[in-house]
Structure 1
Amino acid sequence: MSNAVSVLKGVSSVGFATVTEMGLRGMITLRGDLSSAKVAGAVKAAVGADVPAPRMCNGDVAWMSPDELLIMLPYEEAVKVTSNIAQALAAEHALAVNVSDARAVFAIEGEGAREVLAKLSPVDLSQEVFTIGMFRRTRLAQAAVAFWARGETRFELICFRSEAQYVFDVLSMSASSGSEVDFFKH
């Protein structure tokens, strides 16, 4: 059996913001009735978090759509937790799938993090509109991605593993020193 490795092995790029591939992360897609007490209980048992409000990420659980969550956890726990969720929801119309190996995760950090994403995505990233914990599925240049604000100057982004190099390259180019637009400067 081979050892799992992240697609870009922790590569990093430093400009007016830092872009870093975060390595392996466990991810479970959970589809079902998000208002169900059983779904809420399974999520709470899995990672100790509540089902988030629409378009929000409460640490380890992100709202993906009206019937879909993305649960994030340590990579080595994903198989067992996926099985636990599936067992807990066996009587529900629900689906839990381990998608860890299909995704890549990036951190965009620094005072220019909002600008890096704003140059590539059709999302209003002003601090008044895109607050900490907000989550969006969108496009980043030509790639389908999702990102959320972990803090005022830290965002995390997921994309398909097959697009990881492209996403890293466009994020790095957007964050390269000398390309600042300075739209979000105070």
Structure 2
Amino acid sequence: MSESYPEPVSPLMGASSEGALTVREAGPTGMIALRGDLSDPAFTGPVAALAGCPLPTVWQARGGDGRTLLWMAPDELLLLLPYAEARQAAPRLQAELDGRAVHALVQDVSDMRVRLLLTGPQMREALARLTPVDMSPAMLAPGSLRRTRIAQTAAAIRVISEEEAEVLCFRSVADYAFRLLGGAARNAPDFGYF
């Protein structure tokens, strides 16, 4: 007998804000938090197999085919994957690591965070108004990420391309973060500082 689960409810119901930039909620995304020894092949092998890509280096993201692996800390990764897959993938991976006697934590955190996408040529200027991170291309090239804050809330910023970035924050502050980003995007400066 298979379990049935209710459809996920997006915290912002697919909200979008148009201005000098577009800010939109990415919708339900599978997210698996992974804690372990990133130098141990017994841990990294199964993780890379599930992600379908090699592990990212420090402050980087790697991925493709609907899966992205983010370096979050010296012992932590975050795997983004289709929402429907996370619920089964997390316990399977934990069981595999337990079977190898690997000390690790694998947790489905899909309903804990929200992804907000910023698109437009002044994406860096808008984010620089809200975060202490150096948003210059030399410090935060495409494929890079930083754990930081936007205004008063914890966030991770990943630069996808020169005109696209994503902000990951806790679901409980999704509306606050969306309004901050929307305001910065609507009032983005008309100069190219970066």
The residue type paired with residue 170 of structure 1 is: L
Cα 1:119–1:109 change in 2 (3 A) is same
Alignment partners' CA distance in 2, 1:174 and 1:143? 15
The structural deviation recorded for 1:80 is: 1.2
Other-structure match for 2:143: 133
Contact 1:30 1:96 (C-alpha < 8 Å) held by counterparts: yes
Listed one character per residue, the Cα deviations across residues 29-70 of structure 1 (whole Å, up to 9, x for unaligned) are 000001111222111221201111111111300011000000
Residue in structure 2 matching 1:184, options 184, 190, 193: 193
Q: Aligned-residue CA RMSD in angstroms?
A: 1.3
Q: In the alignment, is residue 157 of structure 1 matched against residue 167 of structure 2?
A: yes
Identical-pair percentage: 42
Residue in structure 1 matching 2:110, options 65, 90, 100: 100
Q: In the alignment, is residue 34 of structure 1 matched against residue 38 of structure 2?
A: yes
Aligned with 1:100: secondary structure? coil
Residue in structure 1 matching 2:56, options 52, 56, 77: 52
Q: Give the alignment's TM-score, normalised by structure 2.
A: 0.91
Listed one character per residue, the Cα deviations across residues 70-91 of structure 1 (whole Å, up to 9, x for unaligned) are 0110000001110121022111
Alignment partners' CA distance in 2, 1:144 and 1:112? 22
Gaps of 5+ in 2: none
The structural deviation recorded for 1:182 is: 2.4
Alignment partners' CA distance in 2, 1:33 and 1:110? 37
Aligned with 1:159: secondary structure? strand
